[in-house]
Amino acid sequence: MKKSFYHYVLTYRGGEWSDEKVRFAESMFIDHSFPKQSDNFEELSTYIELQADEYLTISAFDSLWDLYEAKFN
């Protein structure tokens, strides 16, 4: 069964803070309005564009999305 993007990214929590994917995962985790059940690129990228902060960045999202797609598609 395919995990949601949110659940996949949670696997990066607790890593080295110097990794932008880890910072993204931590920021996403504390964002209670993040679309946790979504696996839709458009929905997620639009949300991130609108809610971006210093850690919830498009560049980190793009890297994580590529890894997510490679794992589940």
User: What's the domain count of the chain?
Assistant: 1
Q: What is the reported pLDDT for 73?
A: 80
User: Nearest-CA neighbor of 38 among 58, 59, 68, 14?
Assistant: 68
Residue 47 domain boundaries: 5-72
pLDDT tens per residue across span 13-55: 999 999 999 999 999 999 999 999 999 999 999 999 998 889 9
Confidence of residue 2 (pLDDT cuts 50, 70, 90): confident
User: Nearest-CA neighbor of 9 among 50, 72, 67, 70?
Assistant: 67
Check pLDDT > 70 for residue 61: yes
37 in helix, strand or coil?
coil
CATH number of the domain where residue 14 is located:
1.10.150.260
Confidence of residue 1 (pLDDT cuts 50, 70, 90): low
User: What does the pLDDT average to over 60-68?
Assistant: 97
How far are the Cα atoms of 14, 16 from residue 9, in angstroms, in the given order?
A: 11, 14
Contacts of 12 (CB under 8 A, 6+ apart): 19, 21, 22, 24, 25, 64
